[in-house]
């Protein structure tokens, strides 16, 4: 992927975090940023999208037992970290919005 898209995706995710958690210091977060393949242009959000396979950045901001997940810089969901989540993260994988509800302990979701 083009470096500009990589930086835009990461910047969008961190801007969201700064806006919603102004009192928190970003230095205390672990940031994971990796590419992920999706079955359509809807990425992990589901819904309408082109049928072409799409590669997009996933960003995970983790602090303690909580993590926020972003697909291409857009907020997807926040979870309480569990073993499934850690296993997936180690594989550079994050569940879709639909699948996350079965695999993780979801706190909030964009859908």
Please give the pLDDT value at position 108: 83
Tokens of 35: 């590419």
Please give the pLDDT value at position 24: 54
DSSP bridge pairs for 33:
59
Q: Are 70 and 12 in contact, with CB atoms under 8 Å apart?
A: yes
* 99, 100, 105, 109 alpha-carbon torsion, rounded to 10°: -120
Asked if residue 12 has pLDDT above 80, the reply is: no
Tokens of 64: 């303690």
Mean pLDDT of 65-90: 92
Q: Which of 10-24, 40-54, 79-93 has the lowest mean pLDDT?
A: 10-24
Other CB atoms within a 10 A radius of the CB of residue 67 amount to 23
pTM over 0.85: no
Select from 53, 48, 100 the least CA-distant residue to 75.
Answer: 100
Residues 6+ apart with CB under 8 A from 64: 81
């Amino acid at each position: 992927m083009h470096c500009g898209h990589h930086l835009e995706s990461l910047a969008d995710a961190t801007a969201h975090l700064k806006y919603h958690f102004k009192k928190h210091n970003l230095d205390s977060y672990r940031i994971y940023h990796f590419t992920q393949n999706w079955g359509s242009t809807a990425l992990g959000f589901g819904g309408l999208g082109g049928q072409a396979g799409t590669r997009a950045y996933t960003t995970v901001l983790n602090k303690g037992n909580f993590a926020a997940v972003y697909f291409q810089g857009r907020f997807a969901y926040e979870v309480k970290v569990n073993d499934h989540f850690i296993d997936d993260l180690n594989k550079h994988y994050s569940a879709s919005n639909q699948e996350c509800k079965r695999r993780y302990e979801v706190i909030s979701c964009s859908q």
